[in-house]
Amino acid sequence: MGKTGFRCKIPDWYGIHSGFNLLLRPGYTALVGPNGAGKTTLLLQLDEIAKERGYDVFHYSNTKDGGDRARQQYLDTGSLEYFATSICSSEGEQVALNFGKTVGKIGQLVKKSVENNTPLFILLDGLDSGASIDRTRELMSLFQLMEKDAGVMPGGVEHELYIVAAVNSYKLAKYGCVDVRTGNPVSFGSYEDYAKFICSYSQ
């Protein structure tokens, strides 16, 4: 554990896999696998393990923090413009709207973490649901900006920041991927490689 990576044992909660050892490098990691493969479960497990070790954790789930809950918050706070926009938007636009209100908070957490030299986990689930290509590029740029703020760079890291995202889009799965079935690193040279990997779960 430390700036070279976060090591832990992932137990099998629901009979999805047989359990595995996981090593996360500081910076961005994409959890890849089809729906039902265990991406959300792995995020919950990382949340639990990181907190047990005294890490600061920020966990955002589009299912839990977006959708009807976000719309209710807009009503409760009198944010009628956000409420109306959410009602009239596509799924991808709603996700972008809801998460967009959280980006500033995440930026402050990263800044505070770096200033205080305290390790931080940012766990993200479902941010690319219904997302356009432009939206996935924006998300990747955001992750890279957070890495830069924490001094994460090829060959070294100044601060222990982990950004772990459960993703379904190839654009967000091109870098730093982990197979949620085994915990092993995976990489994809093309969309076809990624599609074959996802389809391999059903074989």
Q: What is the 3-state secondary structure (H, E, C) of 65-93?
A: HCHHHHHHHHHHCCCHHHHHHHHCCCHHH
Across 69-73, 149-153, 180-184, least confident range: 69-73
Question: What's the CATH code of the domain at 160?
Answer: 3.40.50
**Whether the Cβ atoms of residue 19 and residue 10 lie closer than 8 Å to each other:** yes
**Whether the Cβ atoms of residue 143 and residue 28 lie closer than 8 Å to each other:** yes
Q: What's the pTM value of the predicted model, to 2 decimals? A: 0.84
pLDDT at 86: 45
Q: Collapse the DSSP code of 133 into the 3-class scheme (helix H, G, I; strand E, B; otherwise coil) and give the result.
A: helix
How many domains does the chain contain in total?
1
pLDDT at 139: 87
Average pLDDT over residues 86-95: 52
Task: Tell me if 80 is assigned to some domain.
Answer: no
Report DSSP state, residue 138: H
Q: At what angle do helices 91-116 and 67-76 cross, to 10 degrees?
A: 80
Tell me the residue type at 44: L
Parent domain of 33: 6-61+103-200
Task: Tell me if 133 is assigned to some domain.
Answer: yes
Task: Tell me if 146 is assigned to some domain.
Answer: yes
Averaged confidence pLDDT in the chain: 83
Task: Tell me if 74 is assigned to some domain.
Answer: no
Quickly tell me which residue has 């994409």 as its tokens.
30
Task: Tell me if 91 is assigned to some domain.
Answer: no
Q: Collapse the DSSP code of 164 into the 3-class scheme (helix H, G, I; strand E, B; otherwise coil) and give the result.
A: strand
DSSP E strands, 35-193: 56-61, 120-125, 152-153, 156-157, 161-166, 177-179, 185-186
Q: Is the pLDDT of residue 108 over 50?
A: yes
